[in-house]
Amino acid sequence: MTFFNSEYECKMDAKGRLVLPAKIKASLPESASNELVIRRGFDQCLILYPMVEFNKLFSKIAGLSEFNEENRKLQRNFFRGSSTVELDGNGRLLIPKPMQEYANLEKEIMVIGMGNRVEIWNPELYEKQLIEDPVEFSDLAKKYLDE
């Protein structure tokens, strides 16, 4: 089972290549080879999936009825923001230019393990997403996790 966690400060080179942190690479499923899927996130970040995890999502979205307007809109926007990428021999992936622009990525990058996926953020935008108040964090956890 795939499990990514933690946050990592990384750098993207001038060509748009990102070296995945060793712990992220080590958590990739063996069957994944070097092929991953990167897509635009709902927030202003990118999401990286091992192919096996993306295929689960793909099946759900592709299986929606094309005869429903909302379904078509979801499918169109989901798939237009997805691209297959491969890790090179040095463990780098090339982030497509339009995706770099969407996520406002520059040299400094945050890579965040999110269980079955990895988020790629501009550090300043990522900081704005974090909850600093422990009470707010506790209340949110209680809302969704307290039974």
Q: What is the pLDDT of residue 135?
A: 96
DSSP 81-93: TEEEEE--TTSEE
pTM > 0.85: yes or no: yes
User: Is residue 130 in a domain?
Assistant: no
User: Is residue 33 in a domain?
Assistant: yes
Q: Are 6 and 56 in contact (CB under 8 A)?
A: no
CATH of the domain at 32: 3.40.1550.20
Task: Convert the pLDDT of each residue in 35-93 to its tens digit.
Answer: 999 999 999 999 999 999 999 999 999 999 999 999 999 999 999 989 999 999 888 99
Residue 2 pLDDT exceeds 80 = no
Domain span at 22 = 7-122
User: Is residue 142 in a domain?
Assistant: no
Q: In whole angstroms, what is the distance from residue 75 CA to residue 110 CA?
A: 28
Number of domains in the chain: 1
78: Cβ–Cβ under 8 A, 6 or more apart, which residues? 39, 61
User: Is residue 131 in a domain?
Assistant: no
Task: Convert the pLDDT of each residue in 17-40 to its tens digit.
Answer: 999 999 999 988 876 568 999 999
Task: Convert the pLDDT of each residue in 78-137 to its tens digit.
Answer: 999 899 999 998 889 999 999 999 999 999 999 999 999 999 999 999 999 999 999 999
